[in-house]
Structure 1
């Protein structure tokens, strides 16, 4: 009587059969598409960053070697004096200071204005809200060159044409529709209980916004910061107009004109100046790239 009861127990405790190992050739064939995609992506990355590498290489070459070396990225004898000429002789130290002042002030004004605009459009219902949104979106199709005349005329009337503050107001006074829409999409997905709890604690509009809602939108704030920083740092048209009679107020992008003469162009000096100009942008993007992706993903998901 004991034999029938012990047989199932032995069958239950028997170890499972080892899975059959796949042939090595099968695993290689299965990974082949991934390897092929990796090779293609590496090639695209190399093509994408080659202009930047060539610029850094040209900054270390003599003017003659820039043209004689062709596509070669390794200079025969690095000429570090190009950076000294760009920094001292071309006065890029002053241009860098001007650019830092204009960029950081513009970023601060754009963050405050666009975040509050996006918050009000996302959390409040009022008459004309859709009309305002439509007008904002319509400004995306207006070329920037069409607005330069009224901007310059207004700056002249206010006495702000040849000043850094006039440049800051002109650069930060645009619509910045993309930044407003990013904040709008992010604030729209936040629960309304957050505002209700803040109101119950006696918080007003500004306290609710700056202490409760804005800290939650840090990914979008990082994204808008990076976008505004890039556009302001590389701005050329407005800074050029605002510094016609004040060369000492030039920004880095406008200062590149110092290397262009009537009969020749100092390409190695310009490459050194461009390298100096791009290094802060590259470092900022490396620091904020994670928040940039999170801010775009969060706003789009909503």
Structure 2
């Protein structure tokens, strides 16, 4: 009797195991199809960057170019001045990231660790700015920049991009710093450290996962910014960033799709590389801030 029961139990386990595996394979196929749908536009763009103008839309769903046209990249780099645009974008992005990280980290540290009058009002104002569209602030930003003589310069662009609220970054730092033990600060103060020393030598290094997250988010938003750099470079085309430089491929009666695709690949490569390098810190920073 026990042998029959054991055999029946093995059959039930086998059926349950097959059901779990079937569910797993179904979910894997669904996720794979979803991933393919998300990746396909990028693959198509890379493929289009190696085709001529007529083959871009004449080849249908065929992603492999008949003859790779590498001249599209040289044309985008030299003829469309994307070399200069890339340099401008790197300068603006790096400077903006540094300013935003230091400013948001310090603001998050103060709001998380100190008690002072008006703290709740500041938090309310910060959260309220999340609902203000960017287009409503561009006019005063341009007006102030023009009065300060910063309108047609990379410096003015950096100040305008880094001077936004960046509420999400501040909230990430607030959530992280709230979970840091106060004994670390007290020990540093007993050793004679002041506010700046405690912040830069103790608290900011501890918040490295959040800093990586804020760096990646700020890098993406600044690298892909279009509206504000467009306004700041109306009369200075040599100061254009990569996103604004895409307009060079749009003519009055036609669009150079192959050249634009090559320029887009050039623009996306630094973003992809940075995300691959910082993705682990990005997940840790988001998880740590939410957990706190």
Q: Does residue 224 of the first structure (1) align with residue 196 of the second (2)?
A: no
- C-alpha RMSD over aligned residues: 1.1
Q: Which residue of 1 aligns with 2:276?
A: 286
Correspondent of 2:18 among 28, 37, 40: 28
Q: Whole-Å Cα distance in 2 between the matches of residues 181 and 152 of structure 1? A: 27
Q: Whole-Å Cα distance in 1 between the matches of residues 19 and 243 of structure 2?
A: 51
Corresponding residue of 1:100: 90
Question: Offset of 1:72 from its aligned partner?
Answer: 1.9
| Secondary structure of the corresponding residue to residue 187 of structure 1 | helix
Q: Distance in 2 between matches of 1:50 and 1:232?
A: 25
Q: 2:187 and 2:151 mapped to 1: Cα distance?
A: 46
SS of the equivalent of 2:10 reads coil
**Distance (whole Å) between structure 2 residues aligned to residue 160 and residue 72 of structure 1:** 48
Q: Deviations over 1:176-218 (max 9, x none)?
A: 0000000000000111101100010000000000000110000
1:270 aligns with 2:264: no
Distance in structure 1 (CA, Å) of the matches to 2:203 and 2:16: 53
Q: Which residue of 2 aligns with 1:77?
A: 67
Q: Describe the SS at the equivalent of 1:22.
A: helix
Aligned partner (choices 127, 140, 143) of residue 130 of structure 2:
140
Corresponding residue number in structure 1 for 2:158: 168
Partners of 1:92 and 1:31 lie apart in 2 by 50
Match of 2:239 in 1: 249
Aligned partners of 1:270 and 1:98: how far apart in 2?
18
Alpha-carbon distance between aligned partners in 2 of 1:251 and 1:30, rounded to the nearest angstrom: 51
SS in structure 2 opposite 1:125?
Answer: coil
**SS of match in other structure, 2:18:** helix
> 1:71, 1:276 → 2: CA distance?
23
Which residue of the other structure, out of 113, 127, 132, is the alignment partner of 1:123? 113
Deviation (angstroms), 1:30: 2.7
* In the alignment, structure 1 residue 190 sits paired with structure 2 residue 180: yes
Cα deviation, residue 71, structure 1: 2.3
Residues of 1 paired with 2:212 and 2:16: CA distance?
Answer: 45
Q: Give the corresponding residue for 2:289.
A: 299
Cα offset, 1:29, TM superposition: 2.5
Gaps of 5+ in 2: 1-5
Deviation at 1:59, TM superposition (A): 0.2
Cα distance, 1:81 vs structure 2: 0.5
CA distance in 2 between partners of 1:164 and 1:41 (Å)? 43
Q: CA deviation at 1:110?
A: 0.2
